[in-house]
Amino acid sequence: MQEKIIADHILEKMTLDNVFNILNDNLFAFLNQEEIDYCKDLQEFCLELDPKIDKTKDVYVLFPELGKKGYMQRINKWKDFTPYGMKKEMLLGLHLSCLDSQLELARLASGILCGNPTFHYFHHGGESPEVAKIQDELMSGQKVGCICITEPERGSDAVNMTTQCMKIDDGVIYNGEKVFTTNGPKADYFATYGVYDTSNPRGTMVQAMIKREMGVKTNRLTINAVPRVHIAHTFFENVKVPADYILGDDGMGYSRLFEGLVPERLGIVGSGLGICWTALIYGIIYTNLRRQFGQEVGNFQGVGFSLADLLSQISSATALSFSAATIYDEKVLFAEKKSGAAEKWVAGISSQGKYLVSKLTHKTCYTVQQQMGGISVTDNTLVDELTDTSKIEEVIGGARNIQLFIIQNALRRYKKIL
Ligand SMILES: Cc1cc2nc3c(=O)[nH]c(=O)nc-3n(C[C@H](O)[C@H](O)[C@H](O)COP(=O)(O)OP(=O)(O)OC[C@H]3O[C@@H](n4cnc5c(N)ncnc54)[C@H](O)[C@@H]3O)c2cc1C
């Protein structure tokens, strides 16, 4: 904090501990005992790490701390860290956003967007010891990962990518350019998509885990909203990727890309829920203590009704998101026989959830700032940092309209049953 103007008696209550107390009052009713215990462990971890976070430093110094507890991701089982699954991942993202929303953004890119493809690879029978080593390094937080899908001319239209792959005897050569690579400037590993034939991307897409030393170049983009996260313009110029690093070849890259999208979107929903709850709770704490016209400002209906409205929306969004995660766990991730109907439903609902929650992060932060007044745009509270991160939530993982595009496509299918 550069210059303090917030009153001491309010500042001493604006703590992560109090955020969790109010969160638990609203959250635990949604959870079973195993999930409650998992949240309590997470909260203990966050409360211990919180005083050690130096906001003048990049978030990457904190990755090994997450890795020690198996918190780089929790969808998949890694080492003996339990419990795991989609709902646990959502709860992880939620809590880490309460702790540090920029750390959570970078963690999701490394642990889920880059890490998940390694789990999918082994799930589908892959055996490369190189990939096993990469997975361990990413999960322990010792190394940083990123995902390279978006290109300068292929954003929402990601499938029609132009990054060109060429097969050689012992691997694949990549040539192309990617943008918005979250963690890119710091990354050791790049989960990268390219195609053998740009006129047939679905049939020829390749997914590879590329090491920086193979020749990847990155330039950092200036993105003011998240200064502690590095986001890159990434170049692959005749980058030779040995066969051991190819996760999905000859069109398999396309199915792996789509396999990753659902957990990725649900993961982003978890981060978004954390932003919503944290901003709202800081708003509740502050307006319960700040006095004007002889009383606490939260007593004025103009303030209190607005926060009540947000609470109703965030509770509803939380219920929807937890249902989606639970159904994904029960009928897809842990199911002996995956339910096709559930897979389809979760694919749709993950877009609905991503659309709803990421938009709600923005609305919540904006509204809370209006209700808290001037203090909320200073660095005396965390709310302005949450507002900045909320800008990214809407665009990362597919912009708002692309979620609506996916949802609309599903609506169009109903014509067939009329
Ligand atoms: C901070 C940040 C981090 C990111 N991290 C990563 C990352 O780690 N890896 C990665 O690969 N990508 C990443 N992205 C890229 C992100 O997924 C893209 O920005 C997103 O997919 C949209 O692409 P675009 O920005 O090129 O927009 P465009 O596709 O050019 O879209 C421009 C506008 O047109 C709309 N639009 C496009 N097509 C349609 C349509 N058919 N119907 C209606 N509206 C449409 C869009 O919604 C948008 O409003 C990140 C982006 C940002 C900003």
- Atom from ligand 1 closest to the CA of residue 226: 1
Q: What is the pLDDT of residue 208?
A: 98
Decide if 387 contacts 365 (C-beta within 8 A): yes
Give the three-state DSSP class for 53. Answer: coil
Cβ of 227 less than 6 Å from ligand 1: no
Q: Whose CA is nearest to atom 45 of ligand 1?
A: 401
How does DSSP assign 88-133, residue by residue? HHHHHHHHHHHH-HHHHHHHIIIIIIITHHHHHHHHTT---HHHHH
Residue 219 φ/ψ, nearest 5 degrees = -120, 135
149: CA distance to ligand 1 center in Å? 10
What percent of the chain clears pLDDT 70, i.e. is strictly above it? 100
- Atom from ligand 1 closest to the CA of residue 225: 1
Cβ of 109 less than 6 Å from ligand 1: yes
Beta bridge partners of 199: none
Cβ of 231 less than 6 Å from ligand 1: yes
402: CA distance to ligand 1 center in Å? 8
Calculate mean pLDDT across residues 67-85.
97
* pLDDT higher than threshold 90 for residue 220: yes
How many Å apart are CA 81 and CA 72, to the nearest integer? Answer: 11
- Residue 398 within a domain: no
- Residue 216 within a domain: yes
Taking only the tens place, the pLDDT of each residue in 153-199 is: 999 999 999 999 999 999 999 999 999 999 999 999 999 999 999 99
Cβ of 404 less than 6 Å from ligand 1: no
Q: What is the pLDDT of residue 417?
A: 87
How many Å apart are CA 300 and CA 298, to the nearest integer? Answer: 5
Q: What is the pLDDT of residue 391?
A: 93
Q: What is the pLDDT of residue 398?
A: 85
∠ CA 264-270-273, rounded to 5°: 140
- Residue 178 within a domain: yes
Calculate mean pLDDT across residues 379-405.
93
Q: Whose CA is nearest to atom 16 of ligand 1?
A: 396
Residue to probe by mutation, ligand 1, list 113, 150, 358, most atoms within 8 Å of CB: 150
User: Residue 6's Cα: distance from chain center in Å?
Assistant: 31
Q: Which of 97, 102, 135, 350 is nearest to 230 (CA)?
A: 102
State the burial class of residue 25 (Cβ atoms within 10 Å of its Cβ: 0-12, 13-18, 19+): exposed
124: CA distance to ligand 1 center in Å? 29
Q: What is the pLDDT of residue 249?
A: 97
Q: Which of 247, 242, 212, 218 is nearest to 232 (CA)?
A: 218
- Residue 74 within a domain: no
- Residue 375 within a domain: no
Q: What is the CATH number of the domain that holds 233?
A: 2.40.110.10
CA atoms in the 13 A half-sphere facing the CB of 135: 21
Cis peptide bond N-terminal to 83, omega within 30? yes
Q: Going by C-beta distance under 8 Å and a sequence separation of 6 or more, which residues neighbour residue 41?
A: none
Query: Which stretch of 276-280, 285-289, 348-352 has the lowest confidence by average pLDDT?
Result: 348-352
Taking only the tens place, the pLDDT of each residue in 249-282 is: 999 999 999 989 999 999 999 999 999 999 999 9
* pLDDT higher than threshold 90 for residue 397: no
109: CA distance to ligand 1 center in Å? 16
Over the chain, what is the mean pLDDT? 96
Q: What is the pTM of this model?
A: 0.96
* pLDDT higher than threshold 90 for residue 367: yes
Q: What is the pLDDT of residue 134?
A: 98
**Which band of pLDDT confidence, cut at 50, 70 and 90, is reported for residue 1?**
confident
Q: Whose CA is nearest to atom 37 of ligand 1?
A: 156
How many Å apart are CA 333 and CA 346, to the nearest integer? Answer: 11
How many Å apart are CA 90 and CA 349, to the nearest integer? Answer: 14
Calculate mean pLDDT across residues 143-150.
98
- Residue 330 within a domain: no
355: CA distance to ligand 1 center in Å? 13
Calculate mean pLDDT across residues 297-313.
98
- Atom from ligand 1 closest to the CA of residue 113: 8
**Which band of pLDDT confidence, cut at 50, 70 and 90, is reported for residue 413?**
confident
**Which band of pLDDT confidence, cut at 50, 70 and 90, is reported for residue 416?**
confident
Taking only the tens place, the pLDDT of each residue in 44-71 is: 999 999 999 999 999 999 999 999 999 9
Residue 28 φ/ψ, nearest 5 degrees = -65, -30
Structural domain containing residue 149: 145-250
Residues in the chain: 418
Residue where the block lists tokens 């993982």? 397
- Residue 170 within a domain: yes
Cβ of 399 less than 6 Å from ligand 1: yes
List, in sequence order, the alpha helices (H) in 154-251.
Answer: 201-204
Decide if 230 contacts 219 (C-beta within 8 A): no
CB crowding 322-356: b at 16 or more within 10 Å, else e? bebbbbbbebbbeeeeeeeebbebbbbbbbbbbbb
How many Å apart are CA 115 and CA 177, to the nearest integer? Answer: 21
Residue 169: DSSP 8-state? T
Number of independent structural domains in the chain: 1
- Atom from ligand 1 closest to the CA of residue 154: 26
205: CA distance to ligand 1 center in Å? 20
Cβ of 210 less than 6 Å from ligand 1: no
Cβ of 409 less than 6 Å from ligand 1: no
- Residue 92 within a domain: no
